[in-house]
Amino acid sequence: MTTTNVERPRSGSRPARLALRLAVDVVAPLGLYYVLRAAGVGVYLALLLSTLLSAVTSIGSLIRNRKLNGLSTYMTTMMLASVVVSFIAGSPRFLLAKEAWLTGLSGVWFLLSLRARRPLAYLYTRPLLEGRLRWPGAWDELWERFPRWRRMWRVSSVLWGVGTLADAALRVVMAYTLPVDAVPALGTALYSATAFVLIVVNNVYYIVVRVRAKQW
């Protein structure tokens, strides 16, 4: 099927918003942790305060995004989980393993979404690519007409689910075996590496499927 005269999504600034969200949720808490440590604050308090900063941004996003659909339900659940974990008392090692909890929950959600009306990889990717970067528009129509299209997004959700679960397992090992002050920076590096590998693997898979399909 050839798609023409496709109306592009209105959310043209979404990639910029996602980049800003990444900076607020990842870079800012990491920076706060090392600033506090440099100022002589103890490990546990520095971890707790940086975690609470992440929780505050999550609460703000939750207040702004009141409309729930498949994707926003996932995002809201992850934000609430982040807030809850932020307030659970424990050792510095336990707090360092917090990201593993959330990453593992995300991986499980990707896999469970295979039984939903639309898998999570489809919901996540659609606002970024529908009608852009040589991707077709009318994704709902493609979903209804082409089994290969549906299978592509289900396989992609499996890739993301397995990848994020592996990431979560590595985070637990790092949190309980590596020097405490090294874990936050290494955890952020692992986040970047995991995202990079999964994005590359998924995009190669998308290209292979689209070349074979020839309808889109």
| 1 within some domain | no
* Residue 8 lies inside a defined structural domain of this protein: no
Q: DSSP 3-state assignment of 144?
A: helix
| pLDDT attached to residue 197 | 96
Burial label, 25 (beta-carbon count in 10 A; 0-12, 13-18, 19+): middle
Quick check: 26 pLDDT over 90? Answer: no
Residue 201 near residue 159, CB atoms below 8 Å: yes
Domains: count for the chain: 1
Residue 9 lies in a domain: no
Lowest mean pLDDT among 79-88, 106-115, 181-190: 79-88
Mean of the pLDDT values across residues 140-162? 95
Residue 3, in any domain of the structure: no
Is the predicted pLDDT of residue 161 greater than 90, yes or no? yes
Residue 73 belongs to a domain:
yes
Residue 36: C-alpha distances to residues 49, 161, 175 (Å) = 9, 34, 19
Residue 168 in any domain: the answer is yes
* More confidently predicted of 9 and 128: 128
What mean pLDDT do residues 113-120 have? Answer: 93
When the pLDDT of each residue in the chain is averaged and rounded to a whole number, the result is: 80
- pLDDT of residue 126 exceeding 60, the answer is yes
| pLDDT of 22 higher than 80 | no
Q: Is residue 108 part of a domain?
A: yes
* Residue 7, in any domain of the structure: no
Q: What is the chain's alpha carbon radius of gyration, rounded to the nearest angstrom?
A: 19
pLDDT of the residue at 175? 92
206-216 pLDDT, tens per residue? 999 988 877 66
Higher pLDDT, 85 or 30: 30
- 71-82 pLDDT per residue, tens: 556 666 666 676
* Mean pLDDT of the region 31-60: 77
Is pTM, for the whole model, over 0.95?
A: no
Which domain, by its residues, includes 148?
14-213
Q: State yes or no: pLDDT of 63 exceeds 70.
A: no
Other CB atoms closer than 10 Å to residue 108's CB: what's the count?
14
pLDDT at 101: 86
pLDDT at 213: 76
